[in-house]
Chains A and B, each alone.
Chain A
Amino acid sequence: DAGVIQSPRHEVTEMGQEVTLRCKPISGHDYLFWYRQTMMRGLELLIYFNNNVPIDDSGMPEDRFSAKMPNASFSTLKIQPSEPRDSAVYFCASSAKGQTSSYNEQFFGPGTRLTVL
Chain B
Amino acid sequence: AQSVAQPEDQVNVAEGNPLTVKCTYSVSGNPYLFWYVQYPNRGLQFLLKYITGDNLVKGSYGFEAEFNKSQTSFHLKKPSALVSDSALYFCAVRDSWGKLQFGAGTQVVVTP
Contact = CB atoms under 8 A, between A and B. Distances in A.
A117 interface: no
Contacts of B103: 42
Chain A interface extent, by class: 20 to 34
A45 B97 CA distance: 13
B34 interface: yes
B105 A107 contact: no
A55 B105 CA distance: 26
Contact of A91 (B43, B46, B94, B104): B43
A54 interface: no
Q: Which of the four size classes fits the interface of chain B?
A: 20 to 34
A31 B32 CA distance: 17
Nearest to B34: A105
Interface stretch (A60-68, A70-78, A79-87, A108-116): A108-116
A48 B98 CA distance: 10
Contacts of B42: 110-111
B99 A56 contact: yes
A4 B45 CA distance: 12
Given A43-B90, A56-B97, A56-B99, A103 B43 contact: no
